[in-house]
């Protein structure tokens, strides 16, 4: 496994991030534990989750599965850089009281204590805001985070799904508040198919020293060899991936992508991850394996070297938007 610093911090994290969103809804607890053991054995030390994972009436289940894995001992907790997120309403469905969501100081305090209990730990390495809160000023947010850092409950704060101007605003206000470090990472949607983050989010993150953690690196499976699997009679695409492929332009693009990688003898999913690892400012993509084999495939991407010819071919199929303001102006 290869490692890098998380943004401008001294924290060393693996170039792959283990995403746990499937733990509970799609992967049972025993299999989830086996995947986490395999990830740790392979050197992945960066695990990402969120308080809402488990979804619906099972919100919080994913954190509890991770907590039961930590409880097995073997220095599991000490070896893991643990990241979780808060924002969504954690009240029981149909009983969504005010102040049970978003980024008020009250909900931040309530949410971190609940996550610590579910995770069975006394601190969280990276505590992330899952979404912007248009109603809560950053002065209040940072006051709450400062208290949690002083209490030793969290070490760093990060954002997720923030636009570039909010990253700038958050860190400018943090700098004015006793010189606190502010955001150290941004978790955003970024992959070959969806490159809009290159316009402002990634440049803002790089300017302010945030590590960028892409989620959905295979764009919901669209970049994972979906057409090839259909032809070979494997797992057929469903949901948004299947809907996307009904667009002739999208299907033509994905077919060209799979043909290019077949020519180079590289699996599509592994190439999509390896491409992200070549991008400036990227800490590591989040991989969310449902099975041990999917984890093994992701691990192969870390050692994969993409030629300049292949990188140019990928850019031709999936051209980025270019930097702003040139992407939308002159």
Q: What is the token pair recorded at 202?
A: 């990634």
Does residue 53 have an active-site annotation?
yes
The whole-angstrom separation of Cα 232 and Cα 222 is 16
Angle made by CA atoms 87, 91, 94, in degrees to the nearest 5: 120
The runs of H, that is alpha helices, within 53-137 are 61-70, 76-79, 105-119
Catalytic-labelled residue, pool 3, 53, 165, 190? 53
* Pair 175, 182: CB distance under 8 Å: yes
Q: How far apart are CA 53 and CA 64, in angstroms?
A: 10
Tokens at 205, concatenated: 């993150």
* 3-state SS class at 17: strand
User: Which helix (H) or strand (E) segment is 149 a member of?
Assistant: helix 138-151
What 8-state DSSP symbol labels residue 23?
B
In angstroms, how far is CA 99 from the centroid of its own chain? 26
Q: Which two tokens stand for residue 11?
A: 């924290």
Residues noted as catalytic: 53
């Amino acid at each position: 496994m290869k490692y890098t610093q998380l943004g401008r911090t001294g924290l060393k994290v693996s170039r792959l991030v283990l995403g746990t969103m499937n733990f509970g809804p799609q992967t049972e607890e025993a299999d989830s534990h086996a995947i986490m053991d395999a990830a740790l054995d392979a050197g992945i030390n960066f695990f990402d989750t969120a308080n809402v994972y488990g979804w619906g009436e099972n919100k919080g289940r994913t954190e509890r599965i991770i907590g039961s894995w930590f409880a097995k001992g073997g220095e599991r907790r000490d070896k893991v850089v643990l990241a979780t997120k808060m924002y969504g309403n954690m009240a029981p469905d149909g009983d969504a009281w005010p102040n049970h969501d978003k980024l008020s100081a009250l909900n931040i305090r309530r949410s971190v204590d609940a996550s610590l209990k579910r995770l069975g730990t006394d601190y969280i390495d990276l505590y992330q805001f899952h979404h912007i809160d248009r109603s809560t000023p950053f002065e209040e947010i940072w006051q709450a985070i400062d208290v949690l850092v002083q209490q030793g409950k969290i070490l760093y704060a990060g954002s997720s799904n923030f636009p570039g101007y909010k990253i700038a605003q958050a860190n400018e206000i943090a700098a004015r508040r006793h010189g606190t470090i502010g955001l150290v990472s941004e978790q955003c949607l970024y992959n070959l198919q969806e490159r809009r983050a290159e316009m402002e989010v990634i440049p803002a993150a790089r300017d302010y020293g945030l590590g960028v953690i892409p989620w959905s690196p295979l764009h919901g499976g669209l970049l994972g060899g979906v057409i090839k699997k259909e032809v070979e009679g494997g797992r057929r695409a469903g949901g948004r991936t299947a809907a996307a492929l009904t667009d002739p332009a999208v299907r033509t693009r994905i077919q060209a992508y799979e043909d290019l990688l077949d020519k180079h003898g590289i699996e599509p999913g592994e190439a999509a991850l390896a491409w992200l690892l070549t991008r400036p400012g990227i800490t590591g993509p989040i991989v969310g394996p449902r099975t041990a084999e999917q984890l093994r495939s992701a691990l192969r991407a870390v050692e994969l070297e993409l030629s300049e010819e292949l990188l140019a071919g990928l850019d031709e199929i999936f051209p980025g938007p270019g930097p702003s303001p040139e992407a939308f102006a002159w």
